[in-house]
Amino acid sequence: GENVEQHPSTLSVQEGDSAVIKCTYSDSASNYFPWYKQELGKGPQLIIDIRSNVGEKKDQRIAVTLNKTAKHFSLHITETQPEDSAVYFCAASSETSGSRLTFGEGTQLTVNP
């Protein structure tokens, strides 16, 4: 089955700096890669996703890149703000696996004012 690894597990940055979170996956059939933000006591919130036919996608301060050959994808947050502080999860799925998501272990991002 699919295995997703995520690094780093914790990340602390100064407000205004960029933050990068990286994930690798094992199943070459995976073709959909969402990123979720989870705040304390809440459910995961979808913030951006990318499909395997695209190498990069941007939405304001958030961007995701995908390298299919190397089987890794990354989340980039620019101009970080204290409200970006949360746990971020990457995930992967394939249509052959019924679209179930396999999650990374999460990254606790802290943005210091």
Instruction: Closer to other proteins by CB, 24 or 102: give it.
Output: 102
Q: Using an 8 Å Cβ cutoff, are 98 and 11 in contact?
A: no
The whole-angstrom separation of Cα 46 and Cα 34 is 7
Q: Which of 31, 21, 72, 25 is nearest to 51 (CA)?
A: 31
Closest distance to other proteins from the beta carbon of 85 (Å): 17
| Residue 2 DSSP SS3 | coil
Closest distance to other proteins from the beta carbon of 15 (Å): 26
Instruction: Closer to other proteins by CB, 40 or 70: give it.
Output: 40
Instruction: Closer to other proteins by CB, 1 or 113: give it.
Output: 1
Closest distance to other proteins from the beta carbon of 83 (Å): 18
Instruction: Closer to other proteins by CB, 7 or 18: give it.
Output: 7
Contact residues: other proteins, CB under 8 A: 6, 31-32, 34, 36, 41-46, 49, 51, 89, 93-95, 97-106
List of residues 6+ apart from 104 with CB closer than 8 A: 4, 5, 6, 23, 89, 90, 91
